Amino acid sequence: MKTIDSALKTVEGKWLQTLFTHCKEIFSQTYLPSHDETHHYRVWLFAKQLIRELDQANYTLDANQVEKIILAIFFHDTGLSVQPGTEHGKYSRKFAEDFFDRSSQKPIDDLDEVLTIIEKHDDKEYAETFAEQPAYPDGLFPVVNASDDLDAFGITGIYRYAEIYLLRGIQGKDLAIQVLENSANRFQHFYNTYVFLKRFAEQQRIRYQILQKFYHDLVLQHKTGNVSQSTGPSAVIHQIEQCILKKKLPLEQVCKEVENGSNDSYVLDFFRLLGEEYNSNSMVIQ
C-alpha cells in the first residue's frame, strides 16, 4: 500500500492543481455543473479508491499508469463544454491534444493510449473489447471507465442524470426509463469487472440502488398520474430544471434556495443530502 500511496501522491503533486484549473477554464463559458471540473475531480477520487482496492487485491499499478489515469480523467468529459451529446469524446480528445501540445511538462510515454481512453471513455462496446484481456481489472481504460460510471450513482448521480438528460430534451417518464436502463448497464459493467473487490463493489451497489429507487418512484408517479411540482421525485426534477437549467444557479445556491422555498420533506431531504455530498467531495485547491 505504501508504494501505491507514494505513486498517487507524486502524480497528484505533479498534475492535480494544473489539471483541475485547466478543466475549470474549459468550462468557464459553459454552464454544466453535472459534468464540469467538479465531476472530473470526483471521478479522480473514485479512481484513487479503486486503485487502492486493486492494490490490496494484488493488482498494483505503477506511477506511469497512475499518471495516465489522472490525465485521462481530467479531460474525459471536457468535450461536453462544446458538444453536450453522446459524441463528445472526440472533442475531449482535441482539448487534451491542444493541452499537451502547449504543456511545459515532460510528455508521458505512449500519449496516444491516454488520448484513446479520453475519446472512447463512454463507449461501452469499446469497453467490452477489454473483457478478454488477462489483466483486465487493472487496465487503464477499465479503471477510468468504471470511475466515471461510479459518479453516476447515489444522490449526486440522480442530479447529474437529470441535468444532462433534461439538457438533451428528455423529460418525464422517458427520462426516468432511460436513466434506469443506462444506469443498469453502467452498474452491471462495473460489477462484472470488479465483483472480486467485494467490500468496494457492495458499497457501489448501495449507491446504485439509491439512484434506481428514485427513478423507479418517478416512473410510478407518471404511471399513476401523481406527478407533482411540490412533492416526490417529480418535484426534485422540477427544481433541477427551474433552478439549474433555467436560472443557472450554482449548485450550492440551489440547495439553499430549495431549503428556503420548499416545505416538502422529500424535496428538502434530497437537496440537503445533495449539498452534503457536493461539499464533502469539493476540490480543496480552488
Same domain, 24 and 147: yes
Same domain, 129 and 225: no
pLDDT in tens, 200-230: 999 999 999 999 999 999 999 999 998 888 8
In angstroms, rounded to a whole number, what is the distance separating the alpha carbons of residues 106 and 150?
31
Same domain, 143 and 206: no
In angstroms, rounded to a whole number, what is the distance separating the alpha carbons of residues 271 and 55?
35
Same domain, 117 and 78: yes
Same domain, 170 and 278: yes
In angstroms, rounded to a whole number, what is the distance separating the alpha carbons of residues 197 and 57?
7
Same domain, 52 and 146: yes
Q: Which domain holds residue 21?
A: 1-151
Same domain, 91 and 227: no
Same domain, 135 and 180: no
Instruction: Show which of 125, 151, 177 is a domain's final residue.
Output: 151
Predicted pLDDT at 51: 97
pLDDT in tens, 154-196: 999 999 999 999 989 999 999 999 999 999 999 999 999 999 9
Tens digits of pLDDT across the chain (286 residues):
678 999 999 999 999 999 999 999 999 999 999 999 999 999 999 999 999 999 999 999 999 999 999 999 999 999 999 987 778 889 999 999 999 998 877 667 889 999 999 998 776 555 555 554 544 566 899 999 999 999 999 999 999 999 999 989 999 999 999 999 999 999 999 999 999 999 999 999 999 999 999 999 999 999 999 888 889 999 999 999 999 889 999 888 888 889 888 889 999 999 999 999 888 877 654 4
3-state secondary structure the chain: CHHHHHHHHHHHHHHHHHHHHHHHHHHHHCCCCCCCHHHHHHHHHHHHHHHHHHHHCCCCCCHHHHHHHHHHHCCCCHHHHCCCCCCCHHHHHHHHHHHHHHCCCCCCCCHHHHHHHHHHCCCHHHHHCCCCCCCHHHCHHHHHHHHHHHCCCHHHHHHHHHHHHHHCCCCHHHHHHHHHHHHHHHHHHHHHHHCCCHHHHHHHHHHHHHHHHHHHHHHHHHHCCCCCCCCHHHHHHHHHHHHHHHCCCCHHHHHHHHHHHCCCHHHHHHHHHHHHHHHHCCCCCC
Cα 130 to chain center, whole Å? 21
Number of domains in the chain: 2
Predicted pLDDT at 108: 78
Same domain, 63 and 140: yes
